[in-house]
Amino acid sequence: MKFVFIDAEYTGEHAYTTLVSLGLVTLEGDSLYVTLNDYDRDQVTEWLRNNVLPMIDERQSVSSTEAYRAISAWLEAYANGRQINLVSAGLGSDLLLLFELWRHARPDLKYFHALHCLPVYLNHTKHFDLNTLFFVAGIDPDVSREAFVDYSVEGERHNALHDARVVRECFLKLLQRPELQRFAKCLSE
């Protein structure tokens, strides 16, 4: 199975949030980091201003359309005709914000619908979130993820690429837990 671990930073926990940055890491450790320049600056919170934005080089940031093109090409190359299973840091926002980038593939559509607009390699229901995996393993999902992986990932917390790498390491460690052995076996089939 193909796996990509993702983390997103965005302007808030609400329905109209906008994407600020996205980190993607494959099971093999290859990565892509994208920062956006067209997020809604009116939604920037003090927390975002203090914890995320200082780590972003605005000169490297791109529009959502450019982000879509880069991410789509990178994922398609990784998929190589196979399905990609996404594992997100959180429950749903990261996946939703990633999927929303595909609306840039069809600007002619009045309404974007992931079921009809996502590429085959993403258009399925076998995506996972780390919170649920922690819960199934009997671990409080509020655990410090960095501590869970013994601070083995270098970088700054709240940098989407760093956090996606932490998601990958947590996932690999969780697969060793007895509660997830059946899940791990399904992944290898």
HSE-up of residue 123 (Cα within 13 Å, Cβ side) = 10
pLDDT 10s digits, 26-67: 999 999 999 999 999 999 999 999 999 999 999 999 999 999
CATH code given to domain 2-188: 3.30.420.10
Q: What is the mean pLDDT of residues 160-181?
A: 94
Provide the pLDDT confidence category of residue 106 given band limits of 50, 70 and 90: confident
Are β-strands 2-10 and 19-26 bridged in parallel, bridged antiparallel, or unpaired? antiparallel
Q: What is the mean pLDDT of residues 74-95?
A: 93
pLDDT of 189 strictly over 70: no
Provide the pLDDT confidence category of residue 115 given band limits of 50, 70 and 90: confident
Instruction: For residue 36, give both structure tokens.
Output: 């956006």
pLDDT of 104 strictly over 70: yes
Task: Report the pLDDT value the prediction gives residue 116, as an integer from 0 to 100.
Answer: 80
pLDDT 10s digits, 57-80: 999 999 999 999 999 999 999 999
How far apart CA 83 and CA 79 sit, in angstroms, is 6
Q: How far is CA 179 from CA 169, 173, 174, in A?
A: 17, 12, 9
How far apart CA 110 and CA 106 sit, in angstroms, is 9
How far apart CA 88 and CA 162 sit, in angstroms, is 13
Residue from 83, 77, 89, 12 nearest 43 by CA: 12
